[in-house]
Structure formats: C-alpha cells, structure tokens
Amino acid sequence: MKNISIALFLALVGQVLAATAAEDVVIENARFKLVIGGDARARALVVKATGEELIDPAEDVPAFSVVQNRPFNNEIKLAFANKRTEFRADRVRRVGDELVVGFELVSYEARIRVAERPDYVLFELVDFPLGPKGSNGLNMTYPPVEVMKILNLPVREQTHFGDWLNVSWGEKSAVSLFAAEPYTWIDNERRKGFRLMTAEAHRGLKLRGAKAALVASATSAFLDAMDAAEKGLGLPHGVESRRDPRMSRSIYWTGSISPADVDDHIALAKRGGFTKMLIYHEALTDQGGYADIADYRPNLKLYPKGYDSIREMLAKIKAAGIMPGLHVLQTFIGFNTHYMTPVADPRLNLKAHFTLAKPFGADAKGDLHVQEDPSDSPTNAESRFLAFGGELLSYEGFTTERPYKFTGVARGAKKTNVVDHPQGQIGGVLDVCEFGARSCYIDQNTDLQDEIAEKIAKLYDCGFEFMYNDGSEGVNVPQGIHVANAQYRVWKRLAKKPLFTEGAAKSHFGWHHQGGANAFDIFPPEQFKAMIVRWPLYEAPIMHEDFTQLDFGWWGVYTPSDATVGTQMDMWEFGTSKAAAWNCPAAIQIHPRWLKSHPRCDDLLEVMRRWEDIRAKGWLTPAQRDTLKEAKREFHLFVNETGEYELCEIEMLPTPAGAKHLRGFVFERGGKRVVAAWHTRGEGTIGWALGPKEKLSALRYFTTSDSREKVRSDWAAATLADK
C-alpha cells in the first residue's frame, strides 16, 4: 500500500501545482506569438504582420492531454469507470527549450521540446518524467499513454479551411498545424465559432519523437513561411512544386510506348501541346497486369539493354521538350509473383488476425477452427482467402458463434504449398485488392514497402521527373498515416526528387510531395461532361483551400461507333476549360493506334494544343477564370483571322433527327451568329439552310446574320448523307 499511496500523493501534488501555476508560457518567432497560460490553455496566437488574433478562448480547451485505454493509477482505476479516458493538462511551465506539462489525476508529466525558428515553431514529444524510479509500484513499462496531444489549438473560424494540410486562412492571416514527420497524427474538429486543430502522438506509430510544426503568418506570406518550414525540417518541397508553372500543364499518358514507337508518341504529344508524358510501368517492365506487379524489371524484349535502353528513350523524350513521369502501383503485390507463390510472404497485409483453435494438418480440409470471431471477414468470393504459415486457403463461409470456424476451406490457393498448421498458429484474412482481385496489399508495418520502393527507384532513376502513385488507398489502418507514408517511402529512395507526385489517394503528410493531388478514373463520352462537373470541378475549390491543384483527368479516347458517340472535341474543351479556370492540368490516356483511328483525331489534339498554349502564356484573366468555373456554361477557344484567341460562350445544338452524326454549337461574334459543326465519325454531305449542300468532316465554322432562333430551327432541319 505504501507505493500506491505514493502514486496518489504524486497525483495530489499535481493538483496543487495546477492550482498555483499562473505564469504564462510565451512561444515566439518573427511571424507570430503564441501564449499558453500556466493552466495549459492557449491564450493567444497573434500574427505580427497583421495584428490578428487567431485563438478563440470561448471554450475550456486544454493545449495538451493524454489518453489512457483505462485509468492505471490504482486509486483512479477504483474511483472512475474503466474505459478509454482522456486526462487534460492542468499546468505547464517552460524549462529552457522544453515545455513540462502536467495532467489532472495522472502521476507523470510530459516534456515537449520547442524550437523557435524565424518562420515556424517545432514541437517534439521528448519523454515522460516519472519521478523516483519504482515509485509507481506496478510491474509495467511506463508511462501508460495511448495518445498524447502535443498541441491543441482552438483557432477562430475563418473564410477558408484546408483539411488536407490542416490550414485555416482568411483575407489577412493563415495558420497551419502540421506533421513534421510521417507518423504524427494531425486532425481537426469543427466547433461552434472555431476549428480545433490537433497534433497527436500515438503509441504504435510514434510516441516519443513525434513532431508537429506551427506556421502562422499573413496569408500573403503563408506559402513563403511553409516553404521555409519544409526546407528547415527536411521535408519534400510541396510549396516549390506548387509554384512551378509546369504544374498546370496537362499530361499525355501512355501504357504502350517503347523505343520502337517513341517518335510516334512524341509527335502526337507535340501536336497536342503536351509538355508532360506519364508512362505506365507496364510499358517498361515484364509485368503483364495487376497479377504480376512486384519487381519492376525492364522488359528485355522491348528494352534489350535493360535500364540503359529506358534511359535512352527518356533522353529522347526530354530532348523533345517533354518531361517524362512514371506511373506505378507501389502498394500492390500480384498473385503471380514470387511474393505470393509457392510461399506467401509474411509481409503481406492481413485485414484481421486469427489463432488456430485446433491443428490443421496438410491433409485437412473443410472447417478451420479459430479462437476469434470471424464475423467481419470478407464474403465476396474473390476476397475469401486466409494466410497461415505461407499457405493461402480459400473459404466458403464462417460461423458467428462459438465454436468459431471458417467453413468450406480449400488448400493451396494461388499455387501456394500445402503445409501443416499447428494449434496456436496465428494467421489471418489476406488483404485482397478490390480492383480485380488479382493482387493484394503490403503490410506497411514491415519492410516490404521499402523493398518494393528500391525496385521502383531503380526504374525511376533512369530519367523520370515526376510520378503517379496509383493504388495509394491500398494500405492498412490507419490510412491517415499509411497512405502518405507509403508514397513517401518510395519518394525517399529516388535519387533525383520528383518535381511532384500525384496519387490515387491522399492523406495529411503527403501534401509535401503530392503537389498534383489526384486524378479521377476514365468516364465514358455519354457521361463525360456531367462527371467533370460532379467530380473534378467539385473538388477544385476543395483543393484550393489547401493551396493545391488537382488533375482533371484521366480522360480516354473513345472511337465513335454504333454503341457510343465517341470522344468529341467539345467534351475535351469542356473539361480542359474548367481545369484551366482553376489553373489545373488534365491527363489523357492515349494509345496512338486508337487516337489515329479516331476520325476527328486532328481536331481533338488541336483543342488541347490551344488550351495548353493559353496555360503557358497565362492568357486567361481573373474574370475569365471566374466565368469558366460556372458549371452550366460552355466555352470555345476560337482562333480569329489574325491568329489571336477569342473566348466565346457556346450553346450546344441538339442532334438533328435527319443528321445523327452531325454535332455542333453556336456562338456570338461581331454581331453575328457562328455555327461550328463537324461529322462525328467520318464525312458526309450536309444539307441545311445555312448554305449549299457540301461535304463536312472536320470542324468548320459557318457565319450568319440570322437570329439564334432561326439558327436553331435550320439546324434541327439539317440532313446529312453519310459516306
């Protein structure tokens, strides 16, 4: 009882200290001043350049706290319910470059190192002083901390909030509390009148050594401050990427390039004005699809000198003024690879773990008994796989009451070796990729991601300059940490760092390297415009809150047929104009054979060339950008008689009953109506009141003094005799 009394005594001492603590702690640099009261409440956060106060003191919000899965001090455990419990800080003092934080009831303190730099302040959780060793009287490793909130700031609600970076900003001032390394958990919570911004250290991710940084400045200088913070902390240069004018240029994507046809790709890219080319790994490696992803080895049939052949091809692309990028799926492991068969690698991710309740010999099948409840296991046929001792086993179902078991178990799935499994062996449910179920995901708590990253880096270092991290959502929990860190683990191994990366998913820390945000998958022509509005146009203002662009792609090239109208130039113009409004790129998946077989190939590439040209020239005015952002309005970039651009609002004209392959729109110019028309899938003789019968194939303009109503009527009566 003596030791237990000491624990209670320490808790009581903490309460006394809390009652008497009064001196404020001041943390200050050239840009801001943060004041934390002696009672561990944030009192003020003032941006010096604007004089604006950013803290909302209305609620009693502690600047720090610790979470225990249950109370561990004996008296606290007896007095309060045993459940996950948060203990709030009730005192803080500064000792040199450290904050010493005490908490209500618990008998230890926390030490947080503070580094005040001109543009940012770094907070690092150092340790938990425990007082005299052995005073706790419990045989356990101290401290019992599940989560430590390194900093909790109630920031006044402002006009803008970027959830990805965790940044609040308005006309005058901006503030961001962000992770200074990949394992610190950053979050925010909307409260009445303010946003609670939090940096947390989590046991199992990083407790001691977790780091968070605070930037607060005039909004006009925020990116300057963040840039200095990134460079000072050794982070990827997210600000530098975002400021590079190449970020807004669109991307030519291909999965079929090789030294044999690289000149053809370059020619098409230049015709479309593309200055970035994203190359899918399958065009370079001996991997034939998701089932073969793992090693990223050069395809020696296409690249006989291996990596040297790839270097030569990339050098040719760059000599043409095009920046090459590499498209990979860094979290995927294919079912056909040596990581899967004949022995499944123990570093593959398991969605849930199970302990064998009975032995399962090499000749056993049927029911596999386990100790844990399998109720949440996958039920779709393509994902029902267990991994035990290097063997994969499929199952048909499971029980949800004891005795727990998987039923209908079949052995040696995916060509793995059948082996004995003793009672007590631990395995689990394989984390199968939901896209085609031909691969599975890496356990991010192992070194397998680093091993795959080394293989990707060897390919990337042949001369690539940016990267697309596809399949980034394929990580184990917590995704808020592992999505960005899986990308970062690849990024760290690249000899020449990318200008930027894009990805199929994003989480907090990735803001620094994922400057291009993400791209959406392909939408068919009949849905294209609606999906541009529903997704990238919807996301663009969200990304703007984080000072970030997004990729309005990916777009496909569909050849017109009886089943589809195919890709038409007004579709790409709609998409790329909306992207340009937000200073964003688009990415188009191009296979030369498919594009060349499209009857309007030249017009499609000309659409992109014009819009890439005005991106490069910065031609759009702020007012034009605002107009282009409106979802229900469409525009055409017209080239006038002197070769100059004119931005014209267009009205799409319905397809005439007698001309099902006629497509066009009308716009106003010089007091007259201009009709732009083309044949969607070949050529034919057009008959209409706008002029004599004549052949029509590619885009042509027809000018008339008739009213818009007369134009609509004449268009509806048009005929088209297809060739």
CATH number for the domain that contains residue 147: 2.70.98
- Residue 134's pLDDT is 46
Number of residues that this document lists for the chain: 723
Query: Per DSSP, which regions of 52-143 are E strands?
Result: 65-68, 85-95, 98-103, 109-116, 121-127
* Backbone angles phi and psi of 188, in degrees to 5: -150, 160
699 found inside a domain = yes
**Can you give the CATH number for the domain in which 317 is found?**
3.20.20.70
Sequence-distant (6+) residues with CB within 8 A of 180 are 122, 124, 211, 212, 213, 233, 235
Q: Would you state the pLDDT for residue 137?
A: 63
Secondary structure element (H or E) that encloses residue 84, with its range: none
Per DSSP, the three-state class of 605 is helix
- For residue 23, is it within any domain? yes
In a domain, 701, yes or no: yes
| Same domain flag for 357 and 506 | no
Domain membership of residue 668 (yes or no) is yes
In 219-269, at which residue ranges do the beta strands (DSSP E only) sit?
Answer: 251-254
Answer yes or no: do 61 and 105 share one domain: yes
Angle at 148 between CA 144 and CA 149, to 5 degrees: 160
- Helix ranges, 582-672 (H): 592-597, 601-617, 622-628
User: Containing domain of residue 682, as a range?
Assistant: 633-723
522 lies in some domain: no
- The answer on 165 and 55 residing in a single domain is yes
Do 220 and 256 share a structural domain?
A: no
Looking at the fold, whether 150 and 266 belong to one and the same domain comes out as: no
Predicted model pTM: 0.94
Closest CA to 455 of 592, 606, 333, 629: 333
Indicate whether 169 and 265 sit together in one domain.
no
C-alpha distance from residue 342 to each of 339, 417, 425 (Å): 8, 5, 19
Contact 685, 695 (CB under 8 A): yes
Domain assignment present for residue 277? The answer is: yes
CATH number at residue 380: 2.40.10
Residues 374, 467: one domain? no
49 and 163 together in one domain: yes
Considering its fold, how many domains does the chain have in total? 4
Residue 383 shares a structural domain with residue 326: no
pLDDT at 12: 52
pLDDT the model gives residue 3: 46
Asked whether residue 563 is domain-assigned, the answer is no
User: Are residues 192 and 51 located together in one domain of the fold?
Assistant: yes
The predicted pLDDT at position 11 comes to: 52
Q: Are residues 53 and 194 in the same domain?
A: yes
User: What pLDDT, on the 0 to 100 scale, is given for residue 22?
Assistant: 66
Kindly state whether residue 87 falls inside one of the protein's structural domains. Answer: yes
C-alpha 66/C-alpha 105 separation (Å) is: 11
Same domain, 419 and 454: no
pLDDT along the chain (723 residues), means of 10: 46 50 89 98 98 95 95 85 94 97 92 98 93 59 91 97 98 98 97 96 96 98 98 98 97 97 97 98 94 97 98 98 98 97 98 98 96 97 97 98 98 98 98 96 98 98 98 96 98 97 97 93 96 97 97 96 97 98 97 92 98 97 98 98 98 97 97 97 94 94 96 96 83
